[in-house]
């Protein structure tokens, strides 16, 4: 049997050494049981494209915006608008016209009483007061009723009635001073006597004041509507 030779100490000779061992997968410590993702869970792999790259996914949907003109034309102009209201309200112009007529009537009644009281106190017809009646009726009618073409005519008619009623009140006030009867009794129970007294006192100037009062009401209504 041959004995193993000791390593040579001669220069130039290297002693062959064993290569370093590289740890492989078989050398890794086993993973403890119960840890790590279980098999069968997790997102599925993306499908591969033509050259192995992930296939592009679909683009996200664009946020919904206002309907386009084509959609409005297809589904109708009112499809995306507010729901129709139940019933239709009266137009604003007609409501304002009614308010102007009512206001003119109220002013005509008030001014008729004041005009009659003035006639009874002065015991004569006051023409300038008749013009003032027409101006007040027309001004209020225009301010409240607006620019309706019907309102000036209505105001002129109301002013004529106010002047006539005021003159009757004035005749009743003057008659109550001469008779033991009140003004209210003359206007309610003896209106025919009051009208006869008015016809007896009426003259050409009475007609002129009527016309001037009506014209003042007609003009004042238009001016009141312009300023209102």
- 119 contacts 125 by C-beta, under 8 angstroms: yes
Q: Is pTM, for the whole model, over 0.75?
A: no
- CA 213 – CA 138 distance, rounded (Å): 10
The predicted model gives 144-172 an average pLDDT of: 93
Q: What is the mean pLDDT of the chain?
A: 74
3-state secondary structure of 45: coil
- With CA atoms as reference, report the closest residue to 162 among 130, 194, 208: 130
- Over residues 188-227, the pLDDT tens digits come to 998 999 999 999 988 888 888 899 999 999 999 988 877 6
Confidence (pLDDT) at 227: 66
Q: What are phi and psi of 54, to 5 degrees?
A: -60, 140
- CA 178 – CA 188 distance, rounded (Å): 17
- Over residues 84-132, the pLDDT tens digits come to 444 444 345 678 899 999 999 999 999 999 999 999 888 887 778 899 9
């Amino acid at each position: 049997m041959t004995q193993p030779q000791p390593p040579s100490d001669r220069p130039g000779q290297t002693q062959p050494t064993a290569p370093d061992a590289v740890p492989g997968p078989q050398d890794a410590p086993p993973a403890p049981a119960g840890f790590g993702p279980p098999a069968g869970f997790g997102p599925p792999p993306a499908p591969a494209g033509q050259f192995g790259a992930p296939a592009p996914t679909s683009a996200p949907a664009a946020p919904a915006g206002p309907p386009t003109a084509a959609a409005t034309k297809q589904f109708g102009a009112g499809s995306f608008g507010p729901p129709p209201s139940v019933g239709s309200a009266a137009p604003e112009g007609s409501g304002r016209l009614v308010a102007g007529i009512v206001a003119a009537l109220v002013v005509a009644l008030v001014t008729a009483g004041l005009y009659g009281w003035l006639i009874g106190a002065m015991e004569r017809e006051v023409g300038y007061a008749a013009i003032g009646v027409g101006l007040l009726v027309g001004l209020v009618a225009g301010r409240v009723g607006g620019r309706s073409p019907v309102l000036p005519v209505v105001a002129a008619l109301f002013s004529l009635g106010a002047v006539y009623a005021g003159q009757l009140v004035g005749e009743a006030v003057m008659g109550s001073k001469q008779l033991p009867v009140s003004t209210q009794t003359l206007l309610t129970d003896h209106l025919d006597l009051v009208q006869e007294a008015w016809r007896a006192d009426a003259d050409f100037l009475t007609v002129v004041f009527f016309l001037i009062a009506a014209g003042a009401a007609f003009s004042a209504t238009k001016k009141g509507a312009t300023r209102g």
